[in-house]
Amino acid sequence: MTRHLQRRTFLAVALAGAWVAAGCSGGTRRQSSSDVAQIVMSVRSGPQSFNWFTHHDATTYLVSLLTQARLVRINAATQELEPGLAERWTRSDDGCLYTVALKRDVQFADGAPFTAADVVFSVAAAFDKSSALSDVLTFGGQPLRAEAVDPYTVAFTFPQAYGPGLRVLDGLPILPRHRLQASLARGEFGEVWSVSADPASVIGLGPFVLKSYRPGESLTFERNTHYFRRADDGSPLPRLDRVSLQILPDQDAQMLALEAGQNDGSASEIRPGDYATARRLAEAHRVQLLDLGVGMNPDALWFNLKPGAFAADPRRAWIQRDELRQAISLAVDRQHFVDTVYAGAGVPVHGPVTAANRKWSIELPGVVAANPELARSRLAGIGLVDRDGDGWLDDTDARHARFTIMTQSGQASLERGASAIRDQLATIGLQVDVVLMDAGALIQRFLSGTGYDAVYFNLIATDTDPASQVDFWTSRGSSHVWNLGASREALAWEREIDHLMDQQASALDERERIELFRQVQLIFAAHLPMVHFAAPRVFVAASSRLTGLTPAVTRPQLLWAADTIDLRH
């Protein structure tokens, strides 16, 4: 759930040097015909866990993609559902019962057989108190039920009709029951596969197995010899013997490593500012530069809307007013924002669903160009005016109207975006402080729901279907970051969205679902719990020696299909 970026050349050189000293240089090249086929890709932060059920940061998700498998998966390039561990399935007429036939003769990485019992166990684990998946698998307040009909057949019963159907299972990795059942029974599932765990304990059905983790440095994965998928020609997958993820928070370091041939690219897109360098490398046939179009996940500004968050200083209650967010949206010149933050490689947006999501995005009515005067008028309506003529707005107690935006350090789009917001809000008299934090500390702070004013960050949607994102849209969701844990304290308009999303998710008619979600987006736009300014174009640079790539606009753009990546021979 992150988007990053930054520029510090001296640090980049130091990190690259440390990488070479650690023995990773040349890791992307075969030294002889007998060497393993391996690639090195960079990530911007280490994982918070090896367990996707309990932690939803970007690197934990990538670990899950590499080591785990799903019954079905959403093809990130086509956004269509396709079989995974499931061979086929049928749906009842009322849309509530799915009968899924599993692939046979599939083994976990340790050689243990995969059966329906593992599927039933994984669903049970998703509802453990430590799991962040339960809200996604809950419908109308009732859980999804899974029952083993026989060792290779699972019946999934939805408590009500569910429009996306089995798409929801793309977010459910299948866990090894024989390894984890005891931990779940003891109530210790939340501690399973922590970053301090023995990598050998992380057993799955994915294309790779985790071999080592060096905190702050790297993760190394090796080929799962029991992997079930085959290429179209029947040959075994994955093609690669080893994948190394180098942890480089600074993107200058990532780009320098790519230029020096010390890695094969990044797990995510390059910065707009690196486009010229990547294009030069592409013209020299050293990298492949891929233009994947406008992104689906724009960075966003949100305020802490949790009821009582400012009870200790009620004079700052204006921070939670709709008018403040509306004024900010009016004050920021979005085209200037695109030019400043993304070097022109982006488009202005006014909501979380961009035009890249062709089925579900809408054109929002009433959108106007930047209007500082109207922004000041909105702020005056909540008592924020310049009372002493110094150019800064004051609250009703004559204190400067001031708030703090937290964002992630080392990520240029976030740092530049927060600075651009600060500078443009200064022109209407709002004082903004920008505080940079490392990813882990920032995520922990806003997940706590306390101790912050506002956050500028990026949340990654792993599916285009809104019903698969109930954790974001509904007040009960674990990604409803502006008002976490709001099920009993939801705002009135949040409850309205809850109702519409429940209807939208249970409808089987696609036209009805599209109309209901249009209403959700209109309510969201009226209250602006998040303010969006621009969506960047997504460019990916990868070493020219890589082949078998299936690029997608969503992260991780290349490694979502790591099993088909190969090296040119």
What is the pLDDT, as a whole number, of residue 407? 98
Confidence band for 486, pLDDT divided at 50, 70 and 90? low
Question: Is the model's pLDDT at 19 over the cut of 50?
Answer: no
Q: Are residues 403 and 548 in the same domain?
A: no
CA distances (Å), origin 227, targets 122, 236, 310: 19, 8, 52
Amino acid identity, position 563: D
Question: Is residue 267 situated within a structural domain?
Answer: yes
What residue numbers bound the domain in which 545 lies? 9-67+206-293+539-567
Decide: pTM greater than 0.85.
no
Question: Is the model's pLDDT at 499 over the cut of 80?
Answer: yes
Q: Are residues 156 and 241 in the same domain?
A: no
Q: Are residues 325 and 432 in the same domain?
A: yes
CATH number at residue 173: 3.90.76.10
Amino acid identity, position 300: A
What is the pLDDT, as a whole number, of residue 485? 77
Question: Is the model's pLDDT at 23 over the cut of 50?
Answer: no
Q: What is the pLDDT of residues 125-172, one digit of tens each?
A: 999 999 999 988 988 789 999 999 999 999 999 999 999 999 999 999
Q: What is the pLDDT of residues 347-404, one digit of tens each?
A: 999 999 999 898 899 999 989 899 999 999 999 999 999 999 999 999 999 999 999 9
427-448: average pLDDT: 95
What is the pLDDT, as a whole number, of residue 487? 58
Q: Are residues 273 and 407 in the same domain?
A: no
Q: Are residues 19 and 53 in the same domain?
A: yes
Q: How many percent of the chain have pLDDT more than 90?
A: 81
pLDDT, averaged across the chain: 91
- Residue-wise burial string across 98-119, b where 16 or more C-beta atoms lie within 10 A, e elsewhere: bebbbbeebebbeeeebbbebb
Secondary structure of 456-494 in HEC code, one letter for each residue? EECCCCCCCCHHHHHHHHCCCCCCCHHHCCHHHCCCHHH
Question: Is residue 200 situated within a structural domain?
Answer: no
Question: Is residue 2 situated within a structural domain?
Answer: no
